[in-house]
């Protein structure tokens, strides 16, 4: 379901940002293992969401 995908995409985005704001190890160029996992998940969901958007073009 596309909306469910969007919700998961946004949740991953939020988790990623919250971690980056709270973590002293993560910077713009380096991530701790936990931050990397959150970022990977966000990147995968972003790709899936953008791919779904393209398929839905009129
Ligand atoms: Zn971190």
User: Ligand 1 centroid to 36 CA: how many Å?
Assistant: 7
Q: Over pLDDT 70: what percentage of the chain? A: 95
pLDDT by position in tens, the chain (length 58): 558 999 999 999 999 999 999 999 998 789 999 999 999 999 999 999 999 988 877 7
Exposed, middle or buried, 42 (CB in 10 Å: 0-12/13-18/19+)? buried
Rounded distance between C-alpha atoms, residue 34 and residue 44, angstroms: 16
- Total residues found in the chain within this entry: 58
User: How far away, in angstroms, is 26 Cα from ligand 1 center?
Assistant: 4
Euclidean distance between CA atoms 44 and 27, whole angstroms: 20
State the Cα–Cα distance between residues 21 and 38, nearest whole angstrom.
Answer: 13
How far is residue 58's CA from residue 38's CA, in Å, rounded to a whole number?
A: 33
pLDDT of 1 reads: 54
pLDDT of residue 2: 58
């Amino acid at each position: 379901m596309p909306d469910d995908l969007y919700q998961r995409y946004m949740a991953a985005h939020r988790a990623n940002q919250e971690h980056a704001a709270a973590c002293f190890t993560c910077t713009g160029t380096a991530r701790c293992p936990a931050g990397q996992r959150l970022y990977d998940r966000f990147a995968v969901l972003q790709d899936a969401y953008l791919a779904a958007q393209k398929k839905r073009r009129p």
